[in-house]
Amino acid sequence: MTLITATNTLLAQAGGWWDHMSGWGGGWMWLWGTLMMLSWVAIIAGAVWVVLRGRDGDARSRARDLLQERYARGEIDTEEYRERLEQLT
């Protein structure tokens, strides 16, 4: 009797509860692993989106401020100011 045969015999005598991952989900474990991975990807993607969205808003605000300064100093006329302001929004 080999070691593998002896182990299988002992496991069969134990009631077979060692089958299918000892009753911990069986064949569904791949689903939970996939869902966990997708959850982490969504969390990381959401965090990156929030950071990039915040940076974009700051850049537009700064551009609008610079445009207002140029208009106040008389460097650009009203028509050019409105055109550029429309492009920023």
What pTM, to 2 d.p., does this model score? 0.42
DSSP letter assigned to residue 1:
-
Per-residue pLDDT of the chain (89 residues; tens, 9 = 90+): 577 777 767 666 655 555 555 555 556 677 888 999 999 999 999 999 888 887 766 767 888 889 999 999 999 999 999 998 888 87
Phi, psi at residue 16, to the nearest 5°? 75, 15
Residue 36's pLDDT is what? 94
Which H, E and C letters describe the chain, residue by residue? CCHHHHHHHHHHHCCCCCHHHHCCCHHHHHHHHHHHHHHHHHHHHHHHHHHHHHHHHHHHHHHHHHHHHHHHHCCCCHHHHHHHHHHHC
